[in-house]
């Protein structure tokens, strides 16, 4: 899953954002586990996209005043 567009994330509700963040973190954890076990990840270029999406979701939640 590549980085999502900001306007798409902004349009999501709080519950959907929380679900999306959990899903992205799970995917990032899988990739980091592969790296730690000295395996080549399937698509290493997506790591940046995962991190970017997490940062965008956190920013949206902060602007909305959520935790």
Give the CATH number of the domain where residue 18 resides.
1.10.287.310
Predicted confidence (pLDDT) at residue 27 exceeds the cutoff of 80: yes
What DSSP letter does each residue of 14-54 carry, written as one string?
Answer: HHHHHHHHHHHHHHHHHHHHHHHTTPPPS-TTHHHHHHHHH
| Confidence bin at 2 (pLDDT 50/70/90) | low
At residue 44, the pLDDT reads: 84
For residues 14, 52, 46, 41, the Cα torsion angle rounded to the nearest 10 degrees is: -90
Predicted confidence (pLDDT) at residue 36 exceeds the cutoff of 70: yes
Predicted confidence (pLDDT) at residue 65 exceeds the cutoff of 80: yes
Is there a domain that residue 55 lies in?
A: yes
User: Domain count of the chain?
Assistant: 1
Print the domain residue range for 22. 6-64
Percentage of the chain lying above the pLDDT 90 cut: 61
Is there a domain that residue 56 lies in?
A: yes
At residue 6, the pLDDT reads: 87
Is there a domain that residue 1 lies in?
A: no
Is there a domain that residue 24 lies in?
A: yes
At residue 29, the pLDDT reads: 94
């Amino acid at each position: 899953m590549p980085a999502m567009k900001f306007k798409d994330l902004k349009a999501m509700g709080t519950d959907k954002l929380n679900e999306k963040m959990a899903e992205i973190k799970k995917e990032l954890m899988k990739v980091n586990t592969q790296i730690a076990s000295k395996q080549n990840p399937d698509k290493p270029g997506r790591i940046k996209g995962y991190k970017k999406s997490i940062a965008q979701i956190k920013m949206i939640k902060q602007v909305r005043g959520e935790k």
